Amino acid sequence: MTPNHYEFPPLSLATVQAHAAHHLRTGGATPYLLCDLNIVTSKVDRLRAALPGVTPYYAMKANPDPRILAHLHTLGVPFEVASVYELETLLSLGVDASSIIFSNPVKPREAVEAAYKYSVTTMVVDHLDEVQKIASVSREIQLCLRLETSNTGSDWPLTGKFGASTSEALAIIDYCGKHGLPLMGLTFHVGSQCRNLDNWHTGISGARLLLSHMETAGLTPTLLNLGGGFPVQHTRPMPSIEAIGATITDALTGLPETVSVMAEPGRYLVGDSAWMVTRVVGTATRKGHRWLYLDVGAFTGLGETLEQFDYELLCDRDGPLVAMTVAGPTCDTADLLFHDKLLPGDLQEGDLIYLPNAGAYTTAYASTFNGFPLPEMVLKTC
Ligand SMILES: Cc1ncc(COP(=O)(O)O)c(C=O)c1O
């Protein structure tokens, strides 16, 4: 089988197959994630070229492996964090706290206090309650307001939980202006693996109106944070980063030079840097339908399948394709990965399955539920 949805020939199916054979011969186990840091480097370069004037901060929730973090740090990429644990991981790698943005819109008070003590200067809010919580810890912490925006056409929408509506945002801006609180920026998230260029246009236009309102309210806006959502080429057509960059550059035209622009890419920087290698642990034919059970599942690395996120499955066989149900190894019925996946009908117990584009939101989501081990992340060394 040949991959249809993978952009990086250096980590080709043949390379991954050869690596897996060696890995197993030398005592390695499945499931594991094979990651090529050279791809991370090329994604950083490509993003920077496509989005001139936009500073990418890595959203480490996508893959917090310390080797990826250290690599991005050497490339001069700053970071976005969601928790004190993430923050402390970065600090232990020598990352300067002032180059970190704390973007979780609702944080435990202790997290605000700890981050402030560590000298994190910028935190995201999306509600007056959070503004007041942060101000009660310190009125020096710079605030960046997360706005609601369209997530239409994103494979992993992020609306519904966070984001101030326009009327709420106006009220928060006015409150900060009136009480002298340092609200200095705006942010939004178009949804992860975003296929819809209009989402960036809509997000930026909405933010621009509110940036003007901030000035009217006596605030000095200095930051526009475009969030994440930049897609990897996956199982359906995706706009290229160059097309997204052109849309964003167009939408940013005329933005005051005093406003710096950043983004928080997660998936784009690491998604296609790694393949998941997994093994068929069992097969069954139930009511005439073929089932395949893998040693990686929804709880142990393929968590995004719980929201119907798709993956391409490749293998060493070439038999006639049969529609199969593919499940993970745990006893939970939710651990059903794919329905009617077309795979060679001669797949058997012990066969390896290779999933490209598995570098983001896989090991990061994995748990040891039912006692199954977490997939190890292995670096491709040459
Ligand atoms: C606040 C924030 N920033 C950035 C990201 C990264 O998004 P993506 O991986 O789609 O680039 C996320 C993802 O959940 C997020 O919640």
Q: Render pLDDT for 57-79 as a digit per residue (tens, 0 to 9).
A: 999 999 999 999 999 999 999 99
Q: How many CB atoms lie within 10 A of CB 369?
A: 16
C-alpha 101/C-alpha 338 separation (Å) is 36
Domain with CATH 2.40.37.10 in the chain: 9-34+272-379
* Cβ 229 under 6 angstroms from ligand 1: yes
Given the candidates 3.40.50.2000, 3.20.20.10, 3.40.190.10, 3.40.50.150, the CATH classification of the domain at 58-264 is: 3.20.20.10
Q: Is 144 a catalytic residue?
A: no
Q: What is the pLDDT of residue 54?
A: 98
Distance between start and end Cα atoms, the chain: 24
Task: Specify the CATH class of 9-34+272-379 in words.
Answer: mainly beta
Q: Structure pTM?
A: 0.96
Task: Among 47, 186, 264, name the best residue to mutate to test ligand 1's pocket (greatest count of ligand atoms within 8 A of Cβ).
Answer: 264
Contact 322, 294 (CB under 8 A): no
* Average of per-residue pLDDT across 228-249: 94
Sheet holding 142-146, edge to edge: 54-56, 260-263, 223-225, 183-187, 142-146, 122-125, 100-102, 79-81, 58-59
Q: What is the DSSP letter of 9?
A: G
DSSP per position, 196-247: -HHHHHHHHHHHHHHHHHHHHTT----EEE--S-PPPS-SS----HHHHHHH
Contact 36, 348 (CB under 8 A): no
Domain with CATH 3.20.20.10 in the chain: 58-264
Tokens for 355? Answer: 């999933």
* Average of per-residue pLDDT across 347-355: 98
Query: What residue's CA is closest to ligand 1, atom 5?
Result: 228
Q: What is the pLDDT of residue 138?
A: 98
* Cβ 191 under 6 angstroms from ligand 1: no
C-alpha 74/C-alpha 68 separation (Å) is 10
Burial of 287 (0-12, 13-18, 19+ CB in 10 A): exposed
pLDDT band at 244 (very low <50, low <70, confident <90, very high): very high
Pick from 192, 276, 202: nearest CA to 230: 192
C-alpha 30/C-alpha 315 separation (Å) is 14
Task: Among 186, 188, 192, name the best residue to mutate to test ligand 1's pocket (greatest count of ligand atoms within 8 A of Cβ).
Answer: 192
136 sits in which H/E element: helix 128-137
Asked if the model's pLDDT at residue 9 lies above 80, the reply is: no
Tokens for 7? Answer: 């952009």
pLDDT band at 6 (very low <50, low <70, confident <90, very high): confident
What integer best gives the mean pLDDT of the chain? Answer: 96
Pick from 199, 310, 175: nearest CA to 247: 199
